Chains A and B, each alone.
Chain A
Amino acid sequence: AQKITQTQPGMFVQEKEAVTLDCTYDTSDPSYGLFWYKQPSSGEMIFLIYQGSYDQQNATEGRYSLNFQKARKSANLVISASQLGDSAMYFCAMREGHGGATNKLIFGTGTLLAVQP
C-alpha cells in the first residue's frame, strides 16, 4: 500500500540558514506525484512544491526545492534562507496515478519546523 514517512517530528533552524525536511515514500505505481504543503498554526494547507515521478529535473519554487531521489524513494524539501515566517508544520504527500478518477493525496505525519532568530 502507498505510504509516506516523515521521520522528523520537529526541527530547529537558525534564521537565514537552510534546512532539509525528510520524506520517503512507498508505492508500486510507476506514475505518481509528490507534494509538500505548509500548515501554519491557523490551519490552512498551503501548497509549496510538486514533483512528478517522470520529471527529470528537481522541482524548485523560490526558496523551496525538492531533492528527488527516485531510486531511494525520497523527496526531501529544502528551504533556503529560512525566515521566521517559515515556522509551521510541513507535510509531504503523494498522489498515485495520472490523476484520473481518484487522485486523493496520502499525507505523512508532518514535521514541525521552528525558525529561531
Chain B
Amino acid sequence: EAEVAQSPRYKITEKSQAVAFWCDPISGHATLYWYRQILGQGPELLVQFQDESVVDDSQLPKDRFSAERLKGVDSTLKIQPAELGDSAMYLCASSLQGSTNEQFFGPGTRLTVL
C-alpha cells in the first residue's frame, strides 16, 4: 500500500541550530502539505504545494522557515535557526490534485529543541 514517507522520525537539536525534514508523497499526488502539531493541539497548515508551486504559506514563519518542492515530487522543510517554541510534530500529507476528500498523512517528524 502506498504511503507518505518522512524522515527523520525524531530529531533533537539545540536552539539556533538548523534542522531539515524530508517528505516523499504518494506517487502521483500533486498536492503536498506540511502541518505543524504542537503538543495538545490539532495540526495547523504551514505550507501547501501544488506540484512545485506554493499555494498557501500564510502561516509559515518565513523569517526562519523555508520549504521547497523543486521537482514537484519530494519536499524539504527547513528551520534556521530553531527556537524552543518550534518543538512539535511536523506532519507531511499528500492528496490527488483537486481532491476534495482524503489527505494521506505520513508518520511525522517529532522535533525537540533544547
Q: Which residues of A contact B99 (CB under 8 A)?
A: 99, 103
Q: Which residues 32-78 in A have Cβ within 8 Å of B in the complex?
A: 33, 35, 37, 42-47, 50, 52
Judge whether B89 and A43 touch: CB under 8 Å: yes
Q: Which residues of B contact A50 (CB under 8 A)?
A: 101-102
B104 at interface (Cβ–Cβ under 8 A)? yes
A79 at interface (Cβ–Cβ under 8 A)? no
State the interface size on chain A (CB cutoff 8 A): 27
Judge whether A45 and B91 touch: CB under 8 Å: yes
State the interface size on chain B (CB cutoff 8 A): 28
Judge whether A104 and B33 touch: CB under 8 Å: yes
Q: Which residues of A contact B50 (CB under 8 A)?
A: 101
A91 at interface (Cβ–Cβ under 8 A)? yes
B14 at interface (Cβ–Cβ under 8 A)? no
A113 at interface (Cβ–Cβ under 8 A)? no
Chain B, residue nearest A44 (CB): B107
Judge whether B44 and A47 touch: CB under 8 Å: no
Chain B, residue nearest A48 (CB): B102
Judge whether A105 and B45 touch: CB under 8 Å: yes
Q: Which secondary structure dominates chain A's binding surface? A: loop
Judge whether B42 and A107 touch: CB under 8 Å: yes
A115 smallest CB distance to B (angstroms): 21
Known pairs A43-B89, A43-B110, A100-B98; A105 contacts B103 (CB<8 A): yes
Chain A, residue nearest B40 (CB): A109
Q: Which residues of A contact B40 (CB under 8 A)?
A: 109
Judge whether B56 and A93 touch: CB under 8 Å: no
Judge whether B48 and A99 touch: CB under 8 Å: no
Q: Which residues of A contact B25 (CB under 8 A)?
A: none
A98 at interface (Cβ–Cβ under 8 A)? yes
- Which residues of B line the A interface, CB within 8 A? 31, 33, 40-45, 48, 50, 55-56, 89, 91, 93, 95, 98-108, 110
Identify 9 residue pairs between A and B in the complex whose beta-carbon atoms are under 8 Å apart, listed by A's number: A45-B91, A45-B105, A46-B105, A99-B101, A104-B56, A107-B42, A108-B42, A109-B42, A110-B41
What 3 pairs between A and B have smallest CB-CB spacing? A107-B42, A99-B100, A45-B105
